[in-house]
Chain A
Amino acid sequence: MKHIVALMCLSIEALPIQAAPEGMLLPANTPSGYLTRLLINEAPFPGERGYVSEEDSKATLRALLLVIDARRNRIPPGYTREEVAATSSTNIIDVITAGGDSNQMDGFYRDTAGRPAMAPRVKARVARLQRIASQGEPDRFARLLAYAQTLSNDYLEGKPPSPDLFASITHIPPRTVTGHAYAWMTDQEYYHPGGDFIRIPNRLRGRLGGNRFYTLEKRKVPAAQPAAPGAPLVTVPQ
């Protein structure tokens, strides 16, 4: 795993070096710093929509990281990584920035030079959270930031968070499912990932930090290969 980390460091070393404000997080141009900012960006802090408690936000951070891990390392039988993660790569930066221009993880993408980048609003929010966390005695803001950074560091050293709340889910009526979560979305009624993603209900803790987590329907047979370019859209069964 350390070898992988070293490779990932090389892959983004072209990023301009920028120190994290107040030094609470590793710089964004390191894999761990970049991953940490993704986790922070998707978890609510006190006062923000979706905030329930510090423990709920910590559970959110863990669940988010486990989605990334599942996309890298736990593609279920019958699925391809391209289908689930929009990339064939297991590199964590590739998984985070997958999707090209239509990046899958909102606000995280590769710039025109191919370097991992973040939307200005993501940078602004992370800076604001660090500024608040550094005011007075360390409290929930500081603890949540530190927790996110520790999770990222541990993960890149080969220690994913445990337990995985969704690993053992096998049945969400009426569907048989794969277990593990493979996607999350802001929990709004008008969002749904479509395809074979199955909503994990509240009773199985599928809602965390204002996000909804999704597992996959279990496939008995692999999905059909995509048609070759130029193939007819409609054919007559023989």
Chain B
Amino acid sequence: MKTHVHRFTAVRISLLFAALASANGCRLPHKGELTFPFSSLVSPHDSQPDAAGLFKELGGEEAFMQLTRYLYRWYLDETDFKHFAPDFKHQLWLRTLQTVADPQDNSRYLEAVFPAIGVVVTLKKTDYQIPELKLLVRSDGYRITQIARDTSKQNIQKHDYAVMDIDTGALYKRLFQTRLDCVYPDAALLAHLKESAAQQIAALHDAPTQAKPQQPATFFVAPVHKVSNEVWGFWEEGKLLFRFTSDIDLSNPALWAHDSVNVQLYNAVEQTVVSHEERPGDDRFITRDQIGRALYNCIVLGQKISLPPGQK
């Protein structure tokens, strides 16, 4: 994805100084006084004029919480909190990305960086048409397309971003209070997931365990995070993890009508390794860490359902 930074041409800070000076008729404010919190959790760092607009574009505090809650559930570990880079502990960096898009594709992209833990998140707000399907693909918010731990100076430069301060104390408190809050798929989405999972199980030409498709299937569905636009499921008898994803919102019925969902299957027994070093270059394996996260979300926090025998 070819990207470059789009700089907001917001009101110059000098104009703001002038306006404030004439309004109170006495003194120019110190730099630190020019921070206008636009959220109870996030405020611009050193009066950056881009920050408020970018944070609003992301979706404000609600979207920020969705993003951090998703990272908390699916990516962060104890070591992330131990290895905070102190200079960046309270910072969030944000910028828009420009891509070379198809004609009439109005999708937008944002990149959020949590420099203290070295995490970069790319988000996309889709807005394009698929003429062959007579389908408008448009999401009502940004969805995660990529998460990477790649904040080396060669790849990420602070000056390319609007910098904001996070009230980490308040954020931790909010994450802790909501750590068990779960949103499950609604009835319509659950019906689609059940049907798709049952089809996948029935199509398995080589079931990984003694479980056969004609047997009842116990299926766990992890809580959904709108910002990720993915759903994980676990078929207990087959020890298989399912990951449902798409560029179209999973809650969009048209996605299922046109069968545009990607389903990735992972055998939690055979495809698990402690480290990728065990099988360099082999992309079938995922680590026990990731399997553990998926199982925690599916079995501990998730919803247990049954797929009828032989359902296709």
Contacts and interface: CB of A to CB of B under 8 A. Distances in A.
Interface of A: 44, 46-56, 83-84, 86, 99, 102-104, 106, 119-121, 124, 128, 132-133, 135-137, 139-141, 173, 182-197, 199, 201-203, 205, 207-208, 210
Contacts of B133: 47, 132, 135
Given A46-B130, A132-B133, A139-B132, A194 B248 contact: no
Contact of B282 (A102, A186, A196): A102
Contacts of A47: 130, 133, 135, 137, 246-248, 255, 258, 260
Contacts of B200: 121
Nearest to B137: A47
A121 B263 CA distance: 9
A83 B279 CA distance: 10
Max count, chain B CB within 10 A of own CB: residue among A46, A184, A199 = A46
B154 A201 contact: yes
B2 interface: yes
A203 B155 contact: yes
Contact of A135 (B132, B146, B260, B264): B132
B262 A136 contact: no
B290 A190 contact: yes
Nearest to A182: B281
Max count, chain A CB within 10 A of own CB: residue among B155, B247, B284 = B247
B155 A193 contact: no
Nearest to B153: A173
B286 interface: yes
Interface of A is mostly: loop
13 contacts: A46-B247, A50-B247, A55-B102, A132-B258, A135-B132, A136-B131, A184-B283, A186-B283, A188-B147, A190-B289, A191-B286, A192-B276, A202-B3
Contacts of B311: none
Interface in B97-131: 99-102, 105, 128, 130-131
B284 to A, nearest CB: 6
B294 to A, nearest CB: 9
Contact of A194 (B101, B245, B280): B280
Interface string B259-275: 11011100000000001
A195 B150 contact: no
Given A52-B1, A173-B152, A207-B146, A183 B289 contact: no
Given A133-B132, A194-B281, A196-B280, 11 more contacts: A49-B246, A86-B281, A103-B284, A120-B205, A186-B264, A187-B148, A190-B287, A191-B283, A201-B154, A207-B146, A208-B1
B277 interface: yes
A106 B284 contact: yes
Contacts of B145: 49-50, 210
Contact of B276 (A54, A128, A186, A193): A193
Contacts of A137: 131
Contacts of A121: 200, 203, 263
A189 to B, nearest CB: 5
When A and B form their complex, which 6 residue pairs have the shortest distance between CB atoms, in order from nearest? A195-B280, A194-B276, A190-B290, A49-B245, A47-B260, A194-B277
Contacts of B262: 48-49
A133 B133 CA distance: 9
Contacts of A44: 247
Max count, chain A CB within 10 A of own CB: residue among B99, B276, B278 = B276
B174 interface: no
Contacts of B1: 52, 56, 202, 205, 207-208
B75 interface: yes
Contact of B283 (A84, A104, A141, A196): A104
A143 B148 CA distance: 31
Given A121-B263, A132-B133, A202 B155 contact: yes
Contact of A197 (B132, B135, B281, B284): B281
A176 to B, nearest CB: 14
B149 interface: yes
B284 A48 contact: no
A134 to B, nearest CB: 9
B150 A199 contact: yes
Contact of A53 (B99, B154, B260): B99
A190 B255 CA distance: 26
Contacts of B284: 102-104, 106
B101 A52 contact: yes
Nearest to A51: B247
Given A51-B247, A194-B276, A84 B281 contact: yes
Nearest to A137: B131
